[in-house]
């Protein structure tokens, strides 16, 4: 009854706290900051359904409710217990959430790497006393060192001297291998550092990854073999990420299992842009890992250990 059409939404961009979803109001008109666990909610101020929260109207009257989480496993981090759907900050640099026993975090500090340039030949990160995040400062150096440092990431071509303002053409591309997937089953994140961009700046790049679905059936090994490396699902499937679903279906390869204590992880991968559609009607694209070959080995990751992982095996890198 409170809805008026056509929709009239604020002209100012929505400013929400870190880790808070943008969701549609009950009229399906305007994006609002989703209410979090324990906060008051209503039809016009919905709960963050991406985190499994719902508005319980049974405890408070007059059209208001309170955001509660669906039943799920709690999370234990360094001896402290967090409830399903609960947001918390283990340090000033991380905003985390417990989602059915798994902990996911987003960084609150910009951790991009700054490349030397003629304007800033000696970049250095400095920790200030009253600030949590380090900040970049430029140190002055001699004119000769300034030029050598700034040119260190450019190709040397004796035919013609490179133009400093044409960064991408003369950039010496440096890209690390993709890190291991953050989760052994279900949707996770893989990262690498690259300067393959118009600014020739080293930046952190992420992609979604799924080594195997958590409900993936264990396949029988062939006679004489102890591992099933890269099985395919019998039917095509849609990927789900943060409450949104891929617009097309896929039949990807996953990493299988072994009967001798080894684990199978991705070894050769490719990266594909996948389009997702959200219940609110939004579309977005994310890079996602697709497995070509898995390898079976004893250097296994420790499950659900995102802070103290000792797992160092890496995937062979690729370009989109």
Single out the residue of 97, 108, 113 nearest to residue 131, CA to CA. Answer: 108
Give me the residue spans of the domains in the chain. 1-70, 73-137, 187-215+225-297
Residue 6, preceding bond cis, omega within 30 degrees?
A: yes
The pLDDT score that the predictor gives to residue 3 is 77
Instruction: Supply the mean pLDDT for the chain.
Output: 76
Collapsed DSSP state (helix, strand, coil) of residue 169: helix
Q: Would you say 237 and 286 are in contact if contact means Cβ atoms under 8 Å apart?
A: no
> Which spans in 134-258 are helix H?
143-150, 167-170
What size, in residues, is the chain? 320
Q: Per-residue b/e over 116-128, b at no fewer than 16 CB within 10 Å?
A: bbeebbebeeeee
The pLDDT score that the predictor gives to residue 208 is 92
User: How deeply is 55 buried, as exposed, middle or buried, from its count of CB atoms within 10 A (0-12, 13-18, 19+)?
Assistant: buried
The more confident residue out of 4 and 209 is 209
CA distance 186 to 251: 15
The pLDDT score that the predictor gives to residue 68 is 85
> In the CATH scheme, what is the code of domain 1-70?
4.10.40
Tens of pLDDT along 19-72? 788 888 878 888 889 998 888 888 888 888 877 788 888 766 667 888 888 777
> In the CATH scheme, what is the code of domain 187-215+225-297?
2.10.90
User: How deeply is 288 buried, as exposed, middle or buried, from its count of CB atoms within 10 A (0-12, 13-18, 19+)?
Assistant: buried
What number of other Cβ atoms are within 10 A of residue 161's Cβ? 11
CA distance 45 to 187: 28
Q: Would you say 303 and 211 are in contact if contact means Cβ atoms under 8 Å apart?
A: no
pLDDT tier at 247 (50, 70, 90 boundaries)? very high
CA distance 163 to 285: 34
pTM of the model: 0.52
Of 3-12, 222-231, 251-260, which range is least confident? 222-231
Tens of pLDDT along 174-202? 888 888 888 888 888 888 888 887 877 77
CA 242, 290, 276, 108 torsion: positive or negative?
positive
Give the DSSP letter string of 39-96: SEE-SSS-B-GGGTEEEE-SSS-TT-EEEEEPS---EEETTEEE-TT-EE-SSTTEEE
Instruction: Give CA torsion, residues 254, 259, 262, 263, to 10 deg.
Output: 20
């Amino acid at each position: 009854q409170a809805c008026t059409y056509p929709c009239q939404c604020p002209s100012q961009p929505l400013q929400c706290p870190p880790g808070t979803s943008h969701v549609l109001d009950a009229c399906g008109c305007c994006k609002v900051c989703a209410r979090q666990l324990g906060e008051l909610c209503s039809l016009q101020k919905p709960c963050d359904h991406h985190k499994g929260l719902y508005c319980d109207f049974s405890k408070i009257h007059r059209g208001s409710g309170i955001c509660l989480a669906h039943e799920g496993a709690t999370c234990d981090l360094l001896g402290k217990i967090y409830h399903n759907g609960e947001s918390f900050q283990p340090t000033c640099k991380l905003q985390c959430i417990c989602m059915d026993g798994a902990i996911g975090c987003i960084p609150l500090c910009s951790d991009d790497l700054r490349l030397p340039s003629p304007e800033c030949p000696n970049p250095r990160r400095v920790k200030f006393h009253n600030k949590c995040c380090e900040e970049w400062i430029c140190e002055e150096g001699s004119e000769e060192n300034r030029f050598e440092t700034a040119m260190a990431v450019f190709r040397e071509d004796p035919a013609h001297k490179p133009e400093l303002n044409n960064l991408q053409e003369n950039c010496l591309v440096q890209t690390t291998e993709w890190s291991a997937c953050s989760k052994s089953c279900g949707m996770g994140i893989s990262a690498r550092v690259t300067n393959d961009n118009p600014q020739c700046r080293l930046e952190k790049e992420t992609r979604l990854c799924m080594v195997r679905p958590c409900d993936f059936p264990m396949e029988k090994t062939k006679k004489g073999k102890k591992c099933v490396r890269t099985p395919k699902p019998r039917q095509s499937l849609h990927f789900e990420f943060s409450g949104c679903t891929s617009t097309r279906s896929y039949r990807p390869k996953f990493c299988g299992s072994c009967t001798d204590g080894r684990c199978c992880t991705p070894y050769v991968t490719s990266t594909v842009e996948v389009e997702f559609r959200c219940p609110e009607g939004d579309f977005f694209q994310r890079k996602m890992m697709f497995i070509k070959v898995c390898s079976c080995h004893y250097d296994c990751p420790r499950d659900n250990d995102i802070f103290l992982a000792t797992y160092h095996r890496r995937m062979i890198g690729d370009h989109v």
